[in-house]
């Protein structure tokens, strides 16, 4: 399952991990020990950290604005591989400073 999620350049998001059967019914978590991995297509914009209990991944915006940063999460359950992605668009946060830029000088 893939979707796009907006995140400001000074925010983070916890990505919850869950499973469903072919009918969409929830299935209890049963991730194989130490099998959870997470990667970012642009780690300078979004870093990812799997939780110690393997139930989530923390995605943290690191400052640069970026679009379509893909986070991929993978694991195994009873040795069967599973993976999924979520795409983050990193936008600007609220302004914190006023910037003044003079134009080129012209004759009066």
Task: Please state the three-class secondary structure of the chain as a single string.
Answer: CCCEEEEECCCEEEEECCEECCCCCEECCCECCCCCEEEECCCCCEEEEECCCCCEEEEEECCCCEEEEEEEEEEEECCEEEEEEEEEEEECCCCCCCCCCCCCCCCC
Residues 13-51 pLDDT 10s: 999 999 999 999 999 878 999 999 999 999 999 999 999
| Residue 61 binned pLDDT confidence (cut-offs 50, 70, 90) | very high
Tell me the pTM. 0.84
Query: 57: exposed, middle or buried (C-beta count within 10 Å: 0-12, 13-18, 19+)?
Result: buried
Residues 70-89 pLDDT 10s: 999 999 999 999 999 999 99
Region 58-68 average pLDDT: 93
- Whole-number pLDDT of residue 30: 82
- The domains located in the chain, with CATH, are 4-90 (2.60.40.3440)
């Amino acid at each position: 399952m893939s979707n796009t999620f907006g995140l400001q350049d000074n925010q983070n998001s916890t990505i919850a991990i869950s499973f469903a059967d072919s009918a969409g019914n929830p299935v209890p978590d049963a991730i194989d020990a130490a099998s959870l991995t997470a990667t970012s297509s642009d780690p300078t914009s979004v870093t990812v950290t799997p939780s110690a209990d393997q139930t989530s991944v923390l995605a943290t915006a690191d400052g640069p604005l970026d679009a379509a940063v893909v986070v991929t999460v993978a694991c195994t359950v009873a040795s069967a591989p599973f993976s999924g992605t979520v795409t983050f668009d990193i936008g600007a946060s609220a302004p914190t400073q006023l910037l003044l830029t003079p134009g080129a000088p012209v004759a009066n």
